[in-house]
Amino acid sequence: MAFSQRLFDAIVSGKPPLAQSIVEQELVSGADAMTLISETMIPAMDEVGELFREEEFFVPELMLAGRAMKAAMEPLRPLLAAAGAKPAGVVVAGTVKGDLHDIGKNLVVSMLEGSGFKVHDLGTDVTPQTFVEAIREHQPQILCLSALLTVTMTAMKTTIDAIKEAGLRRGIKVLVGGAPLNERYATEIGADGYGATATDAVALARRQVGLAN
């Protein structure tokens, strides 16, 4: 069975335990892990993003859907690893130094994971050097920087400068987001893209690795 309406609905309506249970049932029935992801789970998150853009969903609904997607992925991870399935891309994400806010960042991480990315979440109050070390270790295609406060958004430029000084800027796309930011500021600090919302951030990330939105 290529498409599971029950799983689709469980993710869109933000029901983590139900979504995970349905995936487990689908696997017992012989469903293919990658088919579930590509034909049901990713379309479900696309639907969530569209509902958000149409202002039928808001941040709480996005968060619940992201959690449902993450729960649905749990039974699939061992199967994907055993099959040698490659992620859509590798992402390092974190809230910059001095900023302890993580709601927006967590939402982006959940939605990126739901879109097939392998995400290394460094948490909050992340120093530029920690970002540099994570890039060296994980070799991501994308770096996501988050800030919610005007006083901490300058740490984004400090982080990008540190990455340049370490010789790691080439080959990595830096995406930034957070309430005080805008497209102009992102350009000024040398970022490659700005996402006003979590769905924008995921769309940007997908474009950076050549995936259609």
- The Cα–Cα gap between 157 and 40 comes to 38
Other Cβ atoms closer than 10 A to 78: 10
For CATH 3.40.50.280, the residue range(s) in the chain are 90-208
- The Cα–Cα gap between 155 and 10 comes to 38
The stretches of 13-153 forming alpha helices (DSSP H) are 16-28, 33-36, 42-53, 59-73, 77-82, 103-114, 128-138
Class level of CATH domain 5-82: mainly alpha
Closest CA to 106 of 114, 94, 118: 94
For CATH 1.10.1240.10, the residue range(s) in the chain are 5-82
Report pLDDT for 173. Answer: 96
Report pLDDT for 38. Answer: 82
CATH, domain 90-208, list 3.60.20.10, 3.40.228.10, 3.40.50.2300, 3.40.50.280: 3.40.50.280
Report pLDDT for 170. Answer: 93
Q: Is 74 in contact with 100 (CB distance < 8 Å)?
A: no
Could you list the mean pLDDT of each consecutive 10-residue stretch along the chain, which spans 213 residues?
A: 89 96 96 89 86 88 88 88 82 96 85 85 97 97 95 96 97 93 96 90 89 64
Other Cβ atoms closer than 10 A to 25: 14
Report pLDDT for 1. Answer: 53
Q: Is 68 in contact with 19 (CB distance < 8 Å)?
A: yes
Report pLDDT for 20. Answer: 97
Report pLDDT for 88. Answer: 85
